[in-house]
Amino acid sequence: REVQASQRSVAIIAEMIHTASLVHDDVIDDANSRRGKMTVNQIWGERKAVLAGDFILSAASVALARIGNTTIISVLTQVIEDLVRGEFLQLGSKENENERFAHYLEKTFKKTASLIANSCKAVSILGCPDPKVHEIAYQYGKNVGIAFQLIDDVLDFTSCADRLGKPTAADLKLGLATGPVLFACRQFPEMNAMIMRRFSKPGDVERARKYVLQSDGVQQTTYLAQRYCQEATREIRKLRPSPERDALIQLTEMVLLRDK
């Protein structure tokens, strides 16, 4: 069937929220490149970059209001709340190793997967009255979103800067312990101290990267991403067969195979 105008609007709004979050992220991270190009904050400064991100969000809010559906407004504004909460989670870290991985996955959901999950849910609400379909759409988006970020965290260690569009080991330089680091820590417990001080001492970033590449951290994180994609596929197979369903299944494979 044809995509409804309101569903297309959700896609546009989701992309605008995503873009605004990247502009703001680059300010927080003091990043100077994004996908191989100079960041907004690098070109125009932090103040204008913050305002640019705010402007994109305000335009998205206007577009959201024009859809005229209070349920959709509620679903998509949840994304913005999650993005902010996810950023706060990223600023903190857990001393307990078991809590640390749960903290990482919660942050991953709020900063990345919530956008995809709630966007999928919103377009399903506009296209179908069945709450079961809305939940399938949400779970599909959630699992694909988490897998996408896990692969992103793997590429930070395995892809070259030219392919990735940003410097490699960028997360370590920001003091972030992602999946590959947390898995590597199980084989190299001396990484715990580095994680707690957010890789702030001279040589921490290089040592941590070496430990990750010597461990099975990359493979374990990739395997975890595969499991999330399998779960996404399991959810979407609950819908009746169609070319669109097949495309969504194929998308999970693309998430796992990407190298940039």
Question: pLDDT value at position 244?
Answer: 94
For residue 73, being part of any structural domain is answered with: no
Residues 49 and 143 in one domain: no
C-alpha 113/C-alpha 117 separation (Å) is 6
pLDDT tens per residue, the chain (260 residues)? 689 999 999 999 999 999 999 999 999 999 998 888 999 999 999 999 999 999 999 999 999 999 999 999 999 999 999 999 999 999 887 777 779 999 999 999 999 999 999 999 999 999 999 999 999 999 999 999 999 999 999 999 998 755 655 667 889 999 999 999 999 999 999 999 999 999 999 999 999 999 999 999 999 999 999 999 999 999 999 999 999 999 999 999 999 999 88
Residues 51 and 88 in one domain: no
For residue 74, being part of any structural domain is answered with: no
C-alpha 165/C-alpha 150 separation (Å) is 17
Last residue of a domain, one of 68, 95, 112: 68
For residue 110, being part of any structural domain is answered with: yes
Question: pLDDT value at position 163?
Answer: 67
Structurally, the chain folds into a number of domains equal to: 2
For 52, the domain range is 1-68
Whether residue 14 contacts residue 73, with contact meaning beta carbons closer than 8 Å, is answered with no
Q: How many CB atoms lie within 10 A of CB 147?
A: 27
Give the per-residue SS3 of 208-238.
Answer: HHHHHHHCCHHHHHHHHHHHHHHHHHHHHCC
Whether residue 232 contacts residue 252, with contact meaning beta carbons closer than 8 Å, is answered with yes
Question: pLDDT value at position 165?
Answer: 59
The CATH number that applies at residue 225 is: 1.10.600.10
Residues 23 and 142 in one domain: no
C-alpha 205/C-alpha 229 separation (Å) is 30
Whether residue 60 contacts residue 16, with contact meaning beta carbons closer than 8 Å, is answered with yes
Residues 59 and 84 in one domain: no
Answer whether 0.95 is exceeded by the pTM. Answer: no
